[in-house]
Structure formats: structure tokens, C-alpha cells
Structure 1
Amino acid sequence: MFRIIVLLMILVPALEIWGIVKAAQWIGGWQTFLVIISTGVIGAYLAKKEGLKIWKKAQKELSFGHIPGQAILDGLSVFTGGMLLLTPGFFTDTIGFLLIYPFTRRIFQYYIKKWLEKKIRSGQYYFFIRR
């Protein structure tokens, strides 16, 4: 897992720099800068808007005595998407927007749940509840 994280920390910034340079060559430096700033501002607004919806959903579930499992997963997805949108670059922005929108967020969550189920069944991860 450590190797994958190190590899991502090297490859993602390199890919983003390449994308920014290519965009600057294609549309111009100032325009690229404005697009990067705009995606950050729009992303922060959308993340806040979605985050408030999720917060209200979690409060509603808690008021009925239910554990807000889906709301927690939604919150983590929106938080991750918001953080990706605040980092400069087009590829992370794309993933960030996909994590913020509810329909595409469900696709990511489906694969994350499948991955977690596989890890739990194999005994690599386990959860316990203290009472």
C-alpha cells in the first residue's frame, strides 16, 4: 500500500503539471489560470452545498434512531471531492466533480463497498463495536 501511495504522489502531480502546460499552450496562460481558479471556487461552492444536504440527511436519520451509514459515506466522498477540486489541475478536478455529484458519487461508492467487502471477507480488515 505504501508503494502505491508513493507512486501516486509522484505520478499525479506530474500528470497535473503536464495537463496545465498543455492547456496553457492551447488556450493561453491567463485563461488556464482563470479556469483553475474557477474550478476551485465552483468546486468549493458545490462541496459546501452538497455537504449541507448530507448533514441534514444525517441529522434526519439520527432523529429516527438510525445509523447514518450512507450519509457518512456521502460525506467522505464530498469531502474528498472538495479537496481534489481545491488542488490545482484538471485531472483531479474531474475526479473531484465526479465525487461531488450524487449520481456519479454512487458509482464510486459501489466500487469502494465491493473493495471493502473483499478485504473484510479475506480477513485483512475487521471492524468491532464497543458497547
Structure 2
Amino acid sequence: MAKLLFLFIVTPLVELLLLIEIGKAIGTLEVILLTIVTGVAGAALAKSQGLSVLRKTQQEMAEGRMPASNLIDGVMILIGGILLLTPGVLTDLLGLFLLIPWTRILMKKLLMKWMTHKIRKGQIHIHIDHRF
């Protein structure tokens, strides 16, 4: 519950304070334009990266391989695109990290390490249905 409180209350407040401070430094109009540019650029980058991952996924499936890594990439790209469309400095930085291929690789490694740790501690459970 505390994590959700942080996510939905504290993060927007920090973002707002950062935007106000940046606005004082470079100007209000510039901050508004920067927010629009990052949203548009983020949408374009998310689209291009998403299409690239989609092609790789289709190719792996056609070759009979499970595209697990590409599916994780796809989710990270979706989240990155949403973050870039959300106004704010921190969300833009995290969104860019999830969209740029070489930083996404680093983020994916961190995510996999975190998930492995949580699975070993019994905090994440994976249920497999063997009926198929």
C-alpha cells in the first residue's frame, strides 16, 4: 500500500516541483514545449521500438522458438512509452531508459535479477497449467 501511495501521490508532487523549478530557470513556455516534445518523441520512439520487437517476436515464433525475451522488451517499451507521455522529468528519464535498446538491456537484467531473487524467497509464485 505504501508503494502505491508513493507512486500516485509523492511522484507527481516531485515531478510538479521539478517542472516548476525548471520553469523558473528556463521559462514556462520552454517547459511546456519541452513537455510536448518529449511526449511526441516518446510516442515515435515507442512505435519504432515496438515494431522492431514485434518483427523479432514474429521471426522467433516462425522459427519455433519462444520469444520470452522479446515479450519482456515489448512490455518495457509499452511502459516506457506511457512514461514519456506522462508529463515530468523523472518519468521522462525512466521512459527513455526503457525505450533505448542498450539501456533497456540493462533494465531487463536488473528486472530478471530482482524477479529471480523474489522467486527464490517465495515472494513470487509461478503457476503452470499442464492441461495444454
Which deviates the most, 118-127 or 19-28?
Answer: 118-127
Cα deviation 1:20-56 (Å, max 9, x = unaligned)? 1011111111111000000000000000000000000
Find the aligned partners of 2:88 and 2:80 in 1 and give their Cα distance: 13
| TM-score (norm: length of structure 2) | 0.94
How far 1:3 sits from its partner (Å)? 1.4
Query: What percent of counterpart residues are identical?
Result: 37
Structure 1 position 74 matched with structure 2 position 73: yes
Count of residues in correspondence between the two structures: 130
How far 1:126 sits from its partner (Å)? 2.0
Residue 119 of structure 1 aligns with an amino acid whose one-letter code is K
| TM-score (norm: length of structure 1) | 0.95
**What residue number does 2:122 align with?**
123
What RMSD, in angstroms, separates the aligned Cα atoms of the two structures?
A: 0.9
**What residue number does 1:4 align with?**
3
Structure 1 position 106 matched with structure 2 position 88: no
Cα deviation 1:75-120 (Å, max 9, x = unaligned)? 0111110000000011110110111001001111111101111111
What is the SS of the residue equivalent to 2:66?
A: coil
Find the aligned partners of 1:122 and 1:20 in 2 and give their Cα distance: 39
Which deviates the most, 76-85 or 5-14?
Answer: 5-14
Find the aligned partners of 1:40 and 1:93 in 2 and give their Cα distance: 8
Equivalence map 1:1-131=2 (5 Å): 2-130=1-129, 131=132
| Stretches of structure 1 lacking an aligned partner (at least 5 in a row) | none
How far 1:4 sits from its partner (Å)? 1.1
